[in-house]
């Protein structure tokens, strides 16, 4: 099977072509990686490449309860335990850098941290907080040019910290309505300065942080995630969206990144996705491409055979199946993920999904 073939990711040898997609699991009490997370990631080192859960580059970027950061000494040391365990199990691991921007609430943040976004547009709905339950999203502060420059510095320092923590690379989260995607999208970016108002300007934030991180840690250690046509977190499909993503991808060519990671949210009920964009990107972008969104064993394999992507990432299947590549290789049944425990603290629904061998022993007993 192509999914099980090794892959050379710009010099990083992956043992198969299956990637574990970034998955926020909210088990980092105090926003610091811990032993429970070591176990979770070590068990999933069966993937050719793990991309970690979205991780905050700074206090301003940490909007959800119990998500980890990578800006304090303690967090870096915590992540070191995880990268060591994954490498000991012959796995490879990238850290996803996620600044939540307006998808945030002060109750989930450190004192003094600020909810910032390209424009002061409030997200509809509520966000879960550990202290007070669900609360309405606050109106974010519109970022000044100094705020933008600060956020970029935070991304850069976080990438440098990730390398110190032993990661094989970082993935810039520029998808799903978080800060970088808030710059890309017209629903969230109403600016008229160098960071808004045109295709070139809306893509500037993402392009600049990519360039800065590449310069600091090397292009072969940088990937980026994009979700064209996703309307997640109250973003919108807008006139010229396709041209904008094609322009951004063209701009990214100059960096020769480890990969571009595309999310196709069609399978997750996003009605607005025009899937033609993925074909167009594949045609004009010659670097490594990871595709994601609703793949199973057969459709993932077919996508590789049709050369629609170089690697396939799996999210929910890796939540429930720590040994997903093994199960695929023998076409074994899969455990089903339990959405009720996606974001709850503790082991339940996190480290208690059995590998195939364990489930067979349990059945015999």
Ligand X SMILES: Cc1cc2nc3c(=O)[nH]c(=O)nc-3n(C[C@H](O)[C@H](O)[C@H](O)COP(=O)(O)O)c2cc1C
C-alpha atoms less than 13 angstroms from C-alpha of 111 in its C-beta half-sphere? 0
Is 162:145 a contact under the CB 8 Å cutoff? Answer: no
> Is the CB of 240 or the CB of 346 nearer to ligand X?
346
Antiparallel, parallel or unpaired: β 169-174 and 141-142? unpaired
Is 106:115 a contact under the CB 8 Å cutoff? Answer: yes
The count of other CB atoms within 10 Å of the CB of residue 80 is: 15
> 148, 263, 281, 303: which one contacts ligand X (CB under 6 A)?
263
DSSP lists the bridge partners of residue 7 as 14
> Is the CB of 11 or the CB of 269 nearer to ligand X?
269
Stretch that binds ligand X, among 22-30, 103-111, 130-138, 186-194 (CB under 6 A): 22-30
For the record, the structure tokens of 283 come out as: 């045609």
294 lies in the site for ligand X, by CB under 6 A: yes
> Is the CB of 99 or the CB of 202 nearer to ligand X?
99
> Is the CB of 52 or the CB of 196 nearer to ligand X?
52
Q: How far is the CB of 296 from ligand X (least distance, A)?
A: 9
315 lies in the site for ligand X, by CB under 6 A: yes
- Is 178 an annotated catalytic residue? yes
Q: Which residue has the tokens 């974001």?
A: 343
CA distance 151 to 145: 10
Restricted to residues 113-142, the positions that interact with ligand X (CB under 6 A) are none
45 phi/psi in degrees, rounded to 5 = -70, 5
> 96, 185, 230, 288: which one contacts ligand X (CB under 6 A)?
96
Is 291:303 a contact under the CB 8 Å cutoff? Answer: yes
225 lies in the site for ligand X, by CB under 6 A: yes
Annotated catalytic residue, options 41, 71, 178, 314: 178
Residues engaged in binding ligand X (CB under 6 A): 21-24, 53-54, 96, 98, 173, 175-176, 225, 263, 267-268, 292-295, 314-317, 342
**Active site positions, annotated:** 178
């Amino acid at each position: 099977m192509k999914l099980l073939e090794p892959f050379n990711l710009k010099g990083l040898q992956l043992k198969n072509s299956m990637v574990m997609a970034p998955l926020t699991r909210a088990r980092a009490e105090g926003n610091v990686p811990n032993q429970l997370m070591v176990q979770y990631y070590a068990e999933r080192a069966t993937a050719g490449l793990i991309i970690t859960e979205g991780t905050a580059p700074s206090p301003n970027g940490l909007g959800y309860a119990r998500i980890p950061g990578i800006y304090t000494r303690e967090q870096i040391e915590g992540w070191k335990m995880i990268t060591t365990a994954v490498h000991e199990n012959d796995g490879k691991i990238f850290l996803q850098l996620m600044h939540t921007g307006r998808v945030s609430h002060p109750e989930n943040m450190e004192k003094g941290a600020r909810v910032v976004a390209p424009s002061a547009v409030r997200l509809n709905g509520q966000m879960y907080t550990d202290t007070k339950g669900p609360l309405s999203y606050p109106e974010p502060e519109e970022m000044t040019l100094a705020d933008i420059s600060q956020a970029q510095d935070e991304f850069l320092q976080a990438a440098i910290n990730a390398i110190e923590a032993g990661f094989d690379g970082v993935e810039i989260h520029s998808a799903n309505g978080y800060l970088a995607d808030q710059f890309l999208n017209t629903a969230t970016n109403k600016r008229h300065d160098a960071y808004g108002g045109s295709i070139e300007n809306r893509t500037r934030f993402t392009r600049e942080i990519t360039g800065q991180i590449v310069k600091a840690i090397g292009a072969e250690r940088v990937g980026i995630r994009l979700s064209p046509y996703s309307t997640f977190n109250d973003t919108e499909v807008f006139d010229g969206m396709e041209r904008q993503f094609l322009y951004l991808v063209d701009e990214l060519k100059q960096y020769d990144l480890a990969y571009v990671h595309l999310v196709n949210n069609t399978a997750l009920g996003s009605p607005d996705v025009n899937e033609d964009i993925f074909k167009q990107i594949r045609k004009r972008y010659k670097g490594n491409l990871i595709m994601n969104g609703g793949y199973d064993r057969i459709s993932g394999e077919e996508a590789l055979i049709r050369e629609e992507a170089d690697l396939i990432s799996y999210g929910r299947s890796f939540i429930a199946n720590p040994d997903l590549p093994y199960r695929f290789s023998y076409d074994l049944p899969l455990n089903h993920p339990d959405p009720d425990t996606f974001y709850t603290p503790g082991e339940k629904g996190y480290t208690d999904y059995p590998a195939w061998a364990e489930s067979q022993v349990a059945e015999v007993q």
